[in-house]
Amino acid sequence: MKTICLYFEIHQIIHLKRYRCFDIGRDHYYYDDYENERSITDIAERSYIPSLNTLIDMAKSNNGAFKVAVSLSGVGLEQLEIYAPQVIELLHQLNDTGCCEFLCEPYSHGLSALANEECFREDVERMRVKIKQMFGKTPKVFRNSSLIYSNEIGAMVADMGFKGMLTEGAKHVLGWKSPHYLYHCAYNQNLKLLLRDFKLSDDISLRFSNSEWPEYPLFADKYIGWIADFPEEEQVINIFMELSALGISQPLSSNILEFLKALPACAKEKGITFSTPSEVISKLKSVDQVDVPYPMSWVDEERDISCWLGNVMQREAFDKLYSVAERVHLCTDRRIKQDWSYMQASNNFRFMTTKETGIWLNRGIYDGPFDAFTNYMNILGDFISRVNSLYPVDMDNEELNSLLTTIKNQGEEIVVLNKEVEKLQGKLAKLQPKEEKKAPAKKAAAPKKETAEKKPAAKKPAAKKTTKKAE
């Protein structure tokens, strides 16, 4: 039986303001609050709110037959909490249906997996804690920023305890293989991989409202028919996209939400189900490993990382940013930590791309890639000077590594001690009922002691008489 794994991403960057070289050292606030509020409220009204309401209705009306997965970035959540709290409420309602699985990703939606392992682990763990706090469940499946994946990244993710990971079903990686199977990491077979079917995903997110597309107009029964025609042994069809595709990339006037609503009924007629990533991992067996020696993503024709690190400017900004990763890791200043998350967002590097993809790229306030690079480097220069003021440049790597090792050892020791405390608390909880039972017996015995004490007191006169006779 075939199953559809439907996934949506929610992420919004923190827009940087126009920052001149004259501002370095004088202005430590880097963000365009007006643009942040305008963009997030616009997307929430046009996409997130109607789309989430649709998903909630689908979950309720199909009696648990419809399942969906959602991944949120930490910086995106911060924007929603400030400017669009109604979206957060809808996410809680979707969670309450029991038909949604929330995945984990880097808090910053950054590229730390390509640069610094400690930074990457810290970023992921921060998001994992955030999801647990908000929705009451610890995520078991991971998706990296823009589905970036390689063998090394997969090994790190597996080491962090995740059972599965989402990535791109890129042709240059799969070759003749189909993305409609469950695979596993080449470096750790315990990490299962769900590969995106980019054609079926892009049919909805990119081509749905294109009247020049040969398949236009696309109806739910036709779409499900394509899936039903796949060979019987191909059991999982992974359809991944940004939630903003519903309402922004594909306007609501195109009836995109009506198309989505019709999918469960059409799928049921063909004997096709919906599953969350965790359900797919638990029900299906991996058929083979996927060997990815070089990072891949879901962006552009190449499905690689060239849109972020493809030119000299991008690599210079990237290397400069992560040159202070160890120092930021040691830092306890909340403002620097927050700026660090916002500076890492992959979109900052995407604005610097010089690639010609044929698809229009919204660069925000920037006139072009060189303008984006100059503005970012001005901000980065001020940020690095603030970090260096806490940990001077003359502190060599050996000193930093020593401090990091000490912190790591202390962290491991704290974990061990916390486990020991939990064990002792458990033993104490078992002993407490026994003590409570013994307590009444002691109270009952108390009068006897008083009686025993009174008896010697009554014999005291006789003792005096004996003393007189001895005299």
The confidence score (pLDDT) of residue 405 equals 66
- For residues 237-247, average pLDDT: 97
The confidence score (pLDDT) of residue 442 equals 46
The confidence score (pLDDT) of residue 359 equals 73
- For residues 212-217, average pLDDT: 96
Percent of the chain with pLDDT over 70: 88
pLDDT, tens digit (0-9, with 9 covering 90-100), for 278-327? 999 999 999 999 999 999 999 998 999 999 999 999 999 999 999 999 89
pLDDT at 138 over 60: yes
pLDDT at 423 over 70: yes
Higher pLDDT, residue 367 or 469? 367
The confidence score (pLDDT) of residue 439 equals 52
pLDDT at 393 over 80: no
- For residues 71-75, average pLDDT: 95
The confidence score (pLDDT) of residue 460 equals 44
Site of tokens 């997965």: 69
The confidence score (pLDDT) of residue 435 equals 54
Question: Do residues 194 and 165 lie in contact, with contact meaning Cβ atoms separated by under 8 Å?
Answer: yes
pLDDT at 155 over 50: yes
Question: Do residues 234 and 274 lie in contact, with contact meaning Cβ atoms separated by under 8 Å?
Answer: no
Instruction: Give the β-pairing of 141-143 and 100-103.
Output: unpaired
Higher pLDDT, residue 419 or 198? 198
Written in H, E and C, the secondary structure of the chain is CCEEEEEEEECCCCCECCCCHHHCCCCCCCECHHHHHHHHHHHHHHHHHHHHHHHHHHHHHCCCCCCEEEEECHHHHHHHHHHCHHHHHHHHHHHHCCCEEEEECCCCCECHHHCCHHHHHHHHHHHHHHHHHHHCCCCCEEECHHHCECHHHHHHHHHCCCCEEEEECCHHHHCCCCCCCEEEECCCCCCEEEEECHHHHHHHHCCCCCCCCCCCCCCHHHHHHHHHCCCCCCCEEEEEEEHHHECCCECHHHCHHHHHHHHHHHHHHCCCEECCHHHHHHHCCCCEEECCCCCECCCCCCCCCHHHHCCHHHHHHHHHHHCCHHHHHHCCCHHHHHHHHHHHECHHHHCCCCCCCCCCCCCCCCCCHHHHHHHHHHHHHHHHHHHHHHCCCCCCHHHHHHHHHHHHHHHHHHHHHHHHHHHHHHHHHHHHHHHHHHHHHHHHHHHHHHHHHHHHHHCHHHHHHHHHHHC
The confidence score (pLDDT) of residue 287 equals 96
Tell me how far CA of residue 278 lies from CA of 64, 141, 142, in angstroms: 15, 7, 10
pLDDT, tens digit (0-9, with 9 covering 90-100), for 446-465? 444 444 444 444 444 444 44
Instruction: Give the β-pairing of 192-196 and 68-72.
Output: unpaired
Higher pLDDT, residue 413 or 206? 206
Instruction: Give the β-pairing of 182-185 and 288-290.
Output: parallel
**pLDDT tier for residue 259 given thresholds of 50, 70 and 90:** very high
Question: Do residues 104 and 136 lie in contact, with contact meaning Cβ atoms separated by under 8 Å?
Answer: no
pLDDT at 182 over 60: yes
Rounded to an integer, what distance in angstroms lies between the CA atom of residue 248 and that of residue 231?
A: 34
Rounded to an integer, what distance in angstroms lies between the CA atom of residue 109 and that of residue 126?
A: 12
Rounded to an integer, what distance in angstroms lies between the CA atom of residue 305 and that of residue 186?
A: 20
Rg of the chain (C-alpha set): 31
**pLDDT tier for residue 228 given thresholds of 50, 70 and 90:** very high
**pLDDT tier for residue 152 given thresholds of 50, 70 and 90:** very high
Cα dihedral sign for 52, 53, 54, 57? positive
- For residues 364-390, average pLDDT: 94
The confidence score (pLDDT) of residue 467 equals 41
